[in-house]
């Protein structure tokens, strides 16, 4: 998945929808997208979530959280 392209599509949709803020949750293992976001003026939120697992979890470099797990 081309995550920068996803963001280029999502940002104007959020603006057209009247949202005052736009943000994404992503695992920081996705260094390229984190760097892209910081270069475009985004900032890191001080909230961190630590994921613990007793088994390997793959593919987090291609993952964006699409729901609001803590705010429903």
Q: Where are the domains of the chain?
A: 24-66
Residue 16's pLDDT band, with cuts at 50, 70 and 90, is very high
Confidence category of residue 72, pLDDT binned at 50, 70, 90: very low
What is the CA 34 to chain-centroid distance, rounded?
Answer: 8
Instruction: State pLDDT tens for residues 42-68.
Output: 888 877 777 777 888 777 767 766 565
pLDDT tens-digit readout, 25-44: 777 778 888 888 899 888 88
Contact 65, 33 (CB under 8 A): no
Residue 10's nearest CA partner among 25, 23, 29 is: 23
- Contact between residue 3 and residue 62 where contact means Cβ atoms under 8 Å apart: yes
């Amino acid at each position: 998945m081309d995550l920068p392209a996803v963001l280029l599509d999502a940002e104007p949709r959020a603006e057209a929808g009247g949202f005052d803020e736009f943000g994404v949750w992503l695992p920081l293992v996705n260094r390229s997208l984190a760097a892209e976001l910081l270069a475009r003026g985004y900032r890191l939120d001080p909230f961190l979530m630590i994921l613990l697992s007793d088994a390997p979890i793959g593919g987090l470099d291609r993952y964006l959280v699409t729901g609001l797990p803590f705010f429903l």
